[in-house]
């Protein structure tokens, strides 16, 4: 008899986001005055895990943080969202830090100092995905560990999702273990474009296009476009992560990809309307309210 797989396992980064609000990025050699925008829990992995849990799916998060005060902040966020934290504390490296420039109009530029994220080992990743129905990963942690998580998930019968962010050439070699690949237009181009992704084994590619919505590209199939919800964004940091987390949650609950994408767009819209990459405002109810408004 096979084991019953449940919930979502997210393998990825956890960062403390230090946000500065500024009208534009600085030029080389220039000092710009900005406004302190706050300190938030972040990291693509953590954001996605929180979004999955806040979308209603039992969720585990596998990550490595430092043994410091920043890690306490992140653990608190995970606990408040109801995420099961498979989070190891490193004695050697500090918690990852992201320096976020929150630009006028809601866009952002981000620099990440990986810190303890770089210590996430294959063993951590494989243990982290055991028993999950859906495995979700991104590329802010060592790619070998991501590959191991996807392979372990695939072998166990889980549905695997890779959000190839930031883009990394190693993505191509992982595609045989990926059921759903999520990329934005920049990442897609950096990986050689849709045709190359399909030719390299990607069966299902979700191309996110910001305010242009998302398009589902199945190998040999007709593209399916899902329009974005119209919003006035406050802070788009983590909106793409909320999309991925909510997508994983919906797929773990048996939704068809086409429907799951609409829910995921709604989750991204909720997060973009609030400061910080994770917001307690994200819930099955706030997602449902967006869906009802369409
Ligand atoms: O996707 C947004 C995230 O990217 C931020 O929270 C930051 O920590 C970086 O990982």
* Residue pLDDT, tens place only, 9-25: 999 999 999 999 999 99
* Residue pLDDT, tens place only, 30-73: 999 999 889 999 999 999 999 999 999 999 999 999 999 999 99
Q: Is 241 a catalytic residue?
A: yes
Does the pLDDT at position 214 exceed 50?
yes
**pLDDT score recorded for residue 1:** 41
Select from 13, 38, 41, 43 the residue to mutate for testing ligand 1; criterion: most ligand atoms less than 8 Å from CB: 43
Asked if 172 and 164 count as a contact pair (C-beta separation under 8 A), the reply is no
Which helix (H) or strand (E) covers residue 84, if one does?
Answer: strand 84-90
Residue with tokens 């449940």: 6
Q: Structural domains in the chain? A: 8-12+43-94+117-293 (3.40.1190.20)
- Residue having the nearest C-alpha atom to atom 7 of ligand 1: 43
Rounded Cα distance between 213 and 243, Å, is: 11
17 lines ligand 1 (CB under 6 A): yes
pLDDT band at 275 (very low <50, low <70, confident <90, very high): confident
**pLDDT score recorded for residue 293:** 85
Percentage above 70 pLDDT, the chain: 99
Cα distances from 206 to residues 57, 185, 186, in angstroms, run 21, 10, 13
Asked if 139 and 173 count as a contact pair (C-beta separation under 8 A), the reply is no
Asked if 61 and 83 count as a contact pair (C-beta separation under 8 A), the reply is yes
**pLDDT score recorded for residue 5:** 86
**pLDDT score recorded for residue 145:** 98
110 lines ligand 1 (CB under 6 A): yes
**pLDDT score recorded for residue 124:** 98
**pLDDT score recorded for residue 205:** 98
- Residue having the nearest C-alpha atom to atom 8 of ligand 1: 43
């Amino acid at each position: 008899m096979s084991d019953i797989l449940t919930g979502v396992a997210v393998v990825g980064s956890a960062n403390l986001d230090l946000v500065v609000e500024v009208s534009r990025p600085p030029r080389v050699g220039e000092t710009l005055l900005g406004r302190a925008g706050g300190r938030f829990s972040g990291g693509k992995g953590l954001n996605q895990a929180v979004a999955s849990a806040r979308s209603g799916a039992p969720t585990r998060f596998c990550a490595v943080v430092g043994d410091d005060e920043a890690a306490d902040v992140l653990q608190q966020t995970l606990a408040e969202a109801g995420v099961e934290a498979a989070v190891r504390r490193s004695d050697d490296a500090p918690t990852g830090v992201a320096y976020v420039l929150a630009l006028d109009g809601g866009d952002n530029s981000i620099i990440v100092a990986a810190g303890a994220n770089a210590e996430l080992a294959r063993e951590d990743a494989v243990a982290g995905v055991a028993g999950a129905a859906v495995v979700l990963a991104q590329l802010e942690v060592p790619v070998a560990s991501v590959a191991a998580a996807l392979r372990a998930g695939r072998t166990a019968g889980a549905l695997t999702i890779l959000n190839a962010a930031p883009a990394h050439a190693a993505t191509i070699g992982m595609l045989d273990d990926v059921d759903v690949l999520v990329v934005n237009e920049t990442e897609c181009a950096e990986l050689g474009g849709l045709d190359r992704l399909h030719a390299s084994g990607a069966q299902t590619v979700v191309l996110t296009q910001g305010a242009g919505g998302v398009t589902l590209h199945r190998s040999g199939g007709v593209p399916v476009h899902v329009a974005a919800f119209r919003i006035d964004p406050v802070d788009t940091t983590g909106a793409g992560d909320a999309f991925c987390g909510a997508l994983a949650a919906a797929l773990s609950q048996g939704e068809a990809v086409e429907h799951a994408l609409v829910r995921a767009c709604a989750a991204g819209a909720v997060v973009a309307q609030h400061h910080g990459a994770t917001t307690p405002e994200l819930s099955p109810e706030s997602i449902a309210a967006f869906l009802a408004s369409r």
